[in-house]
Structure 1
Amino acid sequence: MSQHLSASNTNGRLNLEQQRKRAKELLAHLKNQDPNATLSQAQWQLAKQLGFSSWPKLKAHVDALDFAARHPDFDASDEARTTHWRCGNDIAHSLQLAGFKGRFQMLSDPLCMGPVRELPSEDFRALRSAFISRAFNLAPADVARRVNDEYNQLDALAGAGHSVLWCEADAYDQLFLIRALASLERVPEKLELIEVDRIPGVERFIGIGQLAPDVLAWLWPQRRLVDDRAVQVAKQAWSAYCDSSPVKLAQLSRTAHPSLPLLAPALRRQLQELPGIQDGLSLTERLSLTYIAESGPVAFARVFAELMAKREPLPFLGDLMFHALLRPLIDGAQPLLVETEVERDWPRRNVALTPLGHAVLNGDANWMDHASHERWVGGVCLRPAQPHWRIDEDTLPVWVG
């Protein structure tokens, strides 16, 4: 389909008249190839592109969105006592715009990065605070205050009256989800979950934060109660993620969990942050180096945008997280990347591969033989010049002595 006929959509809001216009434009395009092409064929093709099985289903979805937008008081169960939980603040404003009345609370700890171990609460918070402060160059006292406040709120989840967890399918969200559920001794009276891995009409769904307020209203009736089985699965997964061996995590990543259906793919993706057996690169590192090799020198911001828009199979990183993950490839004693224009803010600095970067990307050298930074994936520690876990082509852990 030519560019001007693209039905690209990112925030989930669809306008039926606009789609009808696009269908007519597409019909003219199709008739150039087949004079017998019909409007129904164009509508069907457009609906398929937007993720629907038929034009009537596209229309029904738009009608549902319109209804949600026209009825801001769509569900009185969202009361002032309701707490909406999220692993960041990206939907806080949109919830207000959509007419939600409850309190917003977040756990911003990026559990998909840095050391995550099963420790007593005070030690766990200190471990995470130290990592966050170091990785993002933030004042330790400020970080410790925020971490303590957020985890104190999370500890109160068990006794809360009505809480709703808003999650998507990626590792950032799913790790937040299992951390929240694993902390429960029992399921609260009314703990609900909204989780989504795709939105009809959104060609590349990255996260709930990209959605329009009325799409959040449309999601609201789809929430479901968290049950005992979900808590049990979460406890198993959290323990496996904190383990110094990734074997149990790999087993859980290959098992369907009906109570938490989006968990296994997120765990599989997180396992791919372990070094690859051939090149020693995490999947994030490999995707980044590949694009930089194709396009470099290229600005940091463009690399991140490329991964989010096209290459990352299950986007889970924010821009600052992405930058922190790539710093060891630049700052190490034997770097894979060189950055220039260092007087600029980091998103505008150009990066390019070093000769070693090319060798690693081509499989002629292994990054783990040259890396000088300690790195963690959950409870798995990767230390320079030490035996460590790698991941093979089938996402199975391999111990390398």
Structure 2
Amino acid sequence: MLHIVNGDIVAEKLKQGVVPGDVLVWREIYSEGPVFLDPSDPAARSVRADYLEKAMGIPRKEYIEGCESQEQKLRRFKDYDEIVLWFEHDLFDQTMLCYLLYWFSKQKMGQTRLNLLCIGDFTGIERFRGLGQLSVEQMGTLSGTWHLVKRRELEVGRAYWEAFTSSDPRGLAKLLQEDSSALPFVRNAFRFHLSRFPSVQDGLGKVERTTLEFIAQGLNQPMELFWQVSDELHEFGMGDLQYWWILKQMASGTQPLIRFDGAEAAIPSYIDPSEDFRHRRILLTDTGRRVQDGKEDWVVVNMIDCWLGGVHLLEKERVWRWDEQEESIV
């Protein structure tokens, strides 16, 4: 039996006698940076590796070697009678789940059975954020509760992955209107993804707007902000390195939204924790206040250059925006 899981914490707990078999941690952050239909394509991987090294300091060589290693293990899936996918409800997990369902939908499974365990809550935990919260004993209660993946689950996962990696986000918005009950968490997760696009109202994505709101309330320490924003937007499943990169983008450009007060300190990255950064204050700029008050549009007054799934938003090109009320991309 092979268990494919969403992180090292979950893997270590499963290895403590919770389940029989091998454990493969799927190490990816598809919710960050450029994502392509076939991530194993060398050209696509090169673009993604460059981005992740720039954004979060993940060494290019380490990233590429890690991807190749996990893909080699995945291709040996027929060595196992059963495979179990362990995932959660948030965007971080749902992107991984949809990719794996897309990949398995193209395989001839032979005698290997593909199973799924995907949860959004757990009895006794009021604010469930993920499998990593659970104790070894609690994880043990999930053993055997998975179910055989059916054709409809493969179809929905494949459709969402194809739409997520498309350069035209309207297909993903259209999917939100269709029946996706075979994967009960996929709609909310990818609806949140679309809310990260610049809003038609102010040019802000949901993470940036929520950050400005908390700063305006007086929260100005990086770690304090990270915990509050990630808790408020729990459907994102955002990691701290992702958030530091978002803050860096908010503080960049000709008219930034925020500024860092105090002594100069590097933004933390994968290879540099930069502890001094955690003690700096984050303040709104005049532009940040005007955008928050609805007097400016951030895309109009500042440069935009970012990736959301398969969509590359550039200032000099048509910029896709999210209309919250209509739940549509325009």
TM-score (norm 1): 0.74
- Within the candidate set 20, 23, 26, 1:101 is matched to 20
The answer as to 2:35 corresponding to 1:112 is: no
Measure the CA separation in 2 of the matches of 1:155 and 1:395: 42
The answer as to 2:278 corresponding to 1:347 is: yes
Residue 18 of structure 2 contacts residue 143 of structure 2 at CA under 8 Å; is this kept in 1? Answer: no
Residue 115 of structure 1 contacts residue 127 of structure 1 at CA under 8 Å; is this kept in 2? Answer: yes
Residue 11 of structure 2 contacts residue 25 of structure 2 at CA under 8 Å; is this kept in 1? Answer: no
Q: Who is 2:64 aligned against?
A: 144
Deviation of 1:86 after TM superposition, in Å, equals 1.7
The answer as to 2:318 corresponding to 1:379 is: no
Deviation of 1:313 after TM superposition, in Å, equals 4.7
The amino acid across from 2:67 in the alignment is V
Deviation of 1:259 after TM superposition, in Å, equals 2.2
Deviation of 1:394 after TM superposition, in Å, equals 2.8
Q: Who is 2:241 aligned against?
A: 320
The answer as to 2:185 corresponding to 1:256 is: no
Deviation of 1:146 after TM superposition, in Å, equals 1.3
Deviation of 1:98 after TM superposition, in Å, equals 4.6
> Which deviates more, 151-160 or 378-387?
151-160
Q: What secondary structure, in the 3-state scheme, does the structure 2 residue paired with 1:269 have? A: helix
Measure the CA separation in 1 of the matches of 2:141 and 2:43: 40
Q: Who is 1:164 aligned against?
A: 84
Measure the CA separation in 1 of the matches of 2:302 and 2:80: 46
Measure the CA separation in 2 of the matches of 1:300 and 1:129: 26
Q: Who is 2:270 aligned against?
A: none
The answer as to 2:134 corresponding to 1:211 is: yes
383 and 155 in structure 1: CA distance in 2 versus 1, 3 angstrom threshold:
farther
Deviation of 1:174 after TM superposition, in Å, equals 0.6
Structure with more relative contact order (C-alpha pairs < 8 Å, separation 6 or more):
2
Structure 2 stretches lacking a partner, 5+ long: 266-274
How does 1:267-306 map onto structure 2 within 5 Å? Answer: 267-296=190-219, 298-306=220-228
Measure the CA separation in 2 of the matches of 1:365 and 1:286: 13
388 and 154 in structure 1: CA distance in 2 versus 1, 3 angstrom threshold:
farther
Deviation of 1:373 after TM superposition, in Å, equals 4.3
The amino acid across from 2:288 in the alignment is G
Q: Who is 1:135 aligned against?
A: 55
The answer as to 2:314 corresponding to 1:392 is: no
Q: How many residues align?
A: 316
Between Structure 1 and Structure 2, whose CA radius of gyration is higher? 1
The answer as to 2:148 corresponding to 1:229 is: no
- Within the candidate set 157, 171, 190, 2:113 is matched to 190
Measure the CA separation in 2 of the matches of 1:158 and 1:122: 25
The amino acid across from 1:95 in the alignment is L
Deviation of 1:395 after TM superposition, in Å, equals 5.6
332 and 102 in structure 1: CA distance in 2 versus 1, 3 angstrom threshold:
farther
Q: What secondary structure, in the 3-state scheme, does the structure 1 residue paired with 2:207 have? A: helix
Q: Who is 1:86 aligned against?
A: 5
130 and 156 in structure 1: CA distance in 2 versus 1, 3 angstrom threshold:
farther
166 and 390 in structure 1: CA distance in 2 versus 1, 3 angstrom threshold:
same
The amino acid across from 2:229 in the alignment is L
The amino acid across from 1:299 in the alignment is Q
The amino acid across from 1:380 in the alignment is V
- Within the candidate set 252, 269, 293, 1:362 is matched to 293
> Which deviates more, 220-229 or 152-161?
152-161
Deviation of 1:267 after TM superposition, in Å, equals 1.1
Deviation of 1:279 after TM superposition, in Å, equals 1.1
Percent pairwise identity:
27
C-alpha deviations, 1:276-301, integer Å up to 9, x for none?
111111111111111011114x1110
Q: Who is 1:57 aligned against?
A: none
The amino acid across from 1:365 in the alignment is E
Measure the CA separation in 1 of the matches of 2:68 and 2:143: 29
Residue 186 of structure 1 contacts residue 228 of structure 1 at CA under 8 Å; is this kept in 2? Answer: no
User: Which of the pair is proportionally richer in helix?
Assistant: 1
Deviation of 1:177 after TM superposition, in Å, equals 0.5
Deviation of 1:323 after TM superposition, in Å, equals 1.1
- Within the candidate set 120, 123, 135, 1:200 is matched to 123
Q: Who is 1:124 aligned against?
A: 44
Deviation of 1:257 after TM superposition, in Å, equals 1.9
Measure the CA separation in 2 of the matches of 1:138 and 1:221: 35
RMSD (Å), alpha carbons: 2.0
Residue 202 of structure 2 contacts residue 297 of structure 2 at CA under 8 Å; is this kept in 1? Answer: yes
187 and 293 in structure 1: CA distance in 2 versus 1, 3 angstrom threshold:
farther
Deviation of 1:219 after TM superposition, in Å, equals 1.5
Q: What secondary structure, in the 3-state scheme, does the structure 2 residue paired with 1:220 have? A: coil
